[in-house]
Amino acid sequence: MHLLPSGILTPGCVPVIGNGVVVDLEVLFREIDGLNEKGVDTSKLLISANAHVITPYHVTVDKVSERFLGKRAIGTTGRGIGPTYGDKMGRLGIRIQDLFDPSILRQKVEGALLQKNELLVKVYNRAAVRPQEVVDHLLSFAERLKPMVADTALVLNNALAQGKTVLLEGGQGTLLDVDHGTYPFVTSSNPTAGGATTGSGIGPTKITGVIGILKAYTTRVGSGPFPTELFDEWGEYLRKTGGEVGVTTGRNRRCGWFDAPIARYATRVNGLTDIFLTKLDVLTGIKEIPVCVAYEVDGKRVEEVPVSQTDFHHAKPIYELFPGWEEDISSAKTFEDLPKNAQDYVLALEKLSGTRVSAIGVGPDRNATIVRHDMLG
């Protein structure tokens, strides 16, 4: 899934797309239809009236501008996300609620295209976009969309007031955060924990726990610094064994060994209370598993992620080797079921990351999870 929250697969859960999300309505309904065909109930889905809409011209601008950058390309998904957030901040955006007022919608589309068409025609040598075509495209979704639209911030806060559990799910990762990531090789929003409050309308004092999802090794899609990236047979091994293909782009993920400085950085920036360590099973059969514990930058040992982008680009990993294991761990139900070396590896990552590892993924099945600590506070 690209837009739908994972909670939509859990019976009884009320899945919500918050105000911080940018929504491609065509993609949204394709996902909904795909789940309905599989017998998944999507009738409880709610979408914030304040969420911004990805229009066809956002997708066009995203693709042509990325090609225009050539070797300086960021490696975006080409789905219009960046230009949509750009319009949001530039106060040229189209919100979900605008689809229910055709007059306002047309005014906003025309206003946005005054600028976009100049760019497309004069810079990128593309045809101008006709406002009415965009309006008609967006209005074609309005009738089906309307029953799903709600004041989701109110819904979520009422749920908390009633003692219900609310799980806020962020896409992307810490190093793709527009403020705290490897800028400019980032997304266009704040997928770190602080973005959960602004993106949902829940106040920061209501957050009781922050769960970080870390793989037992490191991956990345798109451009940007990656100190532990592997270009040898081990990189290919992790990619194939872990099924490392980008969900949105279909591109192979770049793979490398676990990077402890990045894990510590993510712990600090997000205020992690727990780590869910995934794909531990992928490392089965590796005799010695390297873990990056620090970097070498200009001949000096650096323990944390360098603040300078230049230094981070030139950082060389300093590895510590941990003994691997041969046993199949996919059926392990408790931490004690794991081989001693696998236990030691997890405990080492826990210490290096500075946050407790509360759950461990030992296989691709949803139930292939070891729970060490309660993560609901």
pLDDT digit string, tens, across residues 256-302 = 999 999 999 999 999 999 999 999 999 999 999 999 999 999 999 99
Dihedral sign computed on CA atoms, order 263, 268, 270, 275: positive
Amino acid at the residue 20: G
Q: What is the mean pLDDT of residues 40-44?
A: 96
User: Residue 83: pLDDT above 70?
Assistant: yes
Evaluate if residue 23 carries a pLDDT over 80: yes
Neighbours of 29 (CB within 10 A): 14
Task: List CB contacts of 242: < 8 A, sequence separation 6 or more.
Answer: 215, 217, 219, 255, 279, 282
Phi first, then psi: give them for residue 304, nearest 5 degrees. Answer: -120, 170
Q: List the domains of the chain with CATH numbers.
A: 6-161 (1.10.300.10), 208-371 (3.90.170.10)
Mean model confidence pLDDT for the chain? 94
Is the confidence at residue 152, as pLDDT, over 70?
A: yes
Helical pair 131-139 and 102-118, crossing angle rounded to 10 deg: 140
* Mean pLDDT confidence for 12-28: 96
Confidence of residue 245 (pLDDT cuts 50, 70, 90): confident
What is the pTM assigned to this prediction?
A: 0.89
pLDDT at position 333, please?
A: 96
Structure tokens, 156: 């979520």
Q: Above 70 in pLDDT, residue 249? A: no
Q: Give the model's pLDDT for residue 22.
A: 96
Q: Taking Cα atoms as reference points, which of 128, 127, 78, 135 lies closest to residue 106? A: 135
- pLDDT at 375 (0 to 100): 87
By mean pLDDT, which of 38-47, 109-118, 239-248 is the weakest? 239-248
Confidence of residue 72 (pLDDT cuts 50, 70, 90): low
Q: Answer whether 2's CB lies under 8 Å from 31's CB.
A: yes
Q: Give the per-residue pLDDT at 248.
A: 67
Q: In this predicted structure, what is the pLDDT of residue 341?
A: 98
Residue 175 has pLDDT above 70, yes or no: yes
Name the band, by pLDDT with cuts 50, 70 and 90, for residue 136.
very high
CB-based contact 324:243 (threshold 8 Å): no
- Percent of the chain at pLDDT above 70? 97
Mean pLDDT on 151-161: 98
* Residues near 252 by beta carbon (within 8 Å), at least 6 away in sequence: 239, 244, 245, 246
> Is 70 exceeded by the pLDDT of residue 71?
no
pLDDT band at 172 (very low <50, low <70, confident <90, very high): confident
Please say whether the beta carbons of 138 and 94 come within 8 A: yes
Question: Would the pLDDT of 14 be above 70?
Answer: yes
With a cut of 80, say whether residue 118 has pLDDT above it: yes
Question: What would the pLDDT profile of 314-363 be if each residue is shown by its tens digit?
Answer: 999 999 999 999 999 999 999 999 999 999 999 999 999 999 999 999 99
AA letter at 329: I
